[in-house]
Amino acid sequence: MTLALITGGSEGIGLELAKCFASDGTDLILMARDMKKLNQAKQLLEKTYAVHVTVISKDLSQPHAARELYEQLKDRNIDYVINNAGCGTADASWRIPPEQDEAMISVNVTSVTVLTSLFLNDMLARNSGTIMNVASTGAFLPGPYIASYYASKAYVLRYTEAVAEEVRGSGVHVCCLCPGPAATSFYRKSRQKVPSFAMQAADCAAYAYAKMKSGQTVIVPGMINQLSRLVPKKPAMYFVGKLKKKKDG
């Protein structure tokens, strides 16, 4: 039986990815903060698919949380590590309380780095395994009025691409998922409206799962999102600034 760890697996893109793994018969470890949502996800997955789901409640914004998670799981021979948990705030950078940015960086940047590094050592020793880190199309450009979130995702993309190159030919696959807008509660939590052109999280996850399995390194679901990479930085940045400033008042 194969085993996948999905951080932020209780809802949104993480839960949809969990369904993809479960439909292939992969057992799951889902980690997030809210135990009620985690148990709901476990129930849903175990009722629908023939898999076993373990749930772990942990706050990745806390110092050492990623290390503790690894210590808890290091003997379980995890085949897939999906660093999906993420959060962000859209506002003028000077209006975001620094402690909120610090917590976001702990989740989006520090935890992704620590979990990649620790699990990668074990996977390299076995010459097998896959790590998929979740960035965003926000990684492709500076994001006025969502500056720290976009910057955190740029880190995830560049870090993951570099690590993927380091392990090329080792039997371990490292890849980065860059979703564009997807209809999840991420927007409500970051006090933004879901854009009308947002993808369904299930479509985003199905595409990501298939491309991860095929060995792709940078995965961008959706044609418009793929094309967005080609827009020059200045106009793209201007557009994001207009969009975010208007929405956030």
Ligand X SMILES: NC(=O)c1ccc[n+]([C@@H]2O[C@H](COP(=O)([O-])OP(=O)(O)OC[C@H]3O[C@@H](n4cnc5c(N)ncnc54)[C@H](OP(=O)(O)O)[C@@H]3O)[C@@H](O)[C@H]2O)c1
Give the binding site for ligand X (CB under 6 A): 8, 10-14, 32-34, 37, 59-61, 84-88, 107, 134, 136, 179, 181-182, 184-186, 189
User: Which residue, 32 or 78, is less far from ligand X as judged by CB?
Assistant: 32
Q: Which is nearer to ligand X, 126 or 191 (CB)?
A: 191
Tokens of 16: 């949809």
Smallest gap, in angstroms, from Cβ of residue 127 to ligand X?
28
Q: How far is the CB of 135 from ligand X (least distance, A)?
A: 7
Shortest distance (Å) from residue 140 CB to ligand X: 11
Choice between 3 and 104, CB closer to ligand X? 104
Taking the complex as a whole, the smallest distance from the CB of residue 25 to ligand X amounts, in Å, to 23
Let me know how long the chain is.
249
Nearer to ligand X, 67 or 168 (CB): 67
Smallest separation, CB 212 to ligand X (Å): 14
Of 123 and 178, CB closest to ligand X = 178
Cα separation of 218 and 23, whole Å? 23
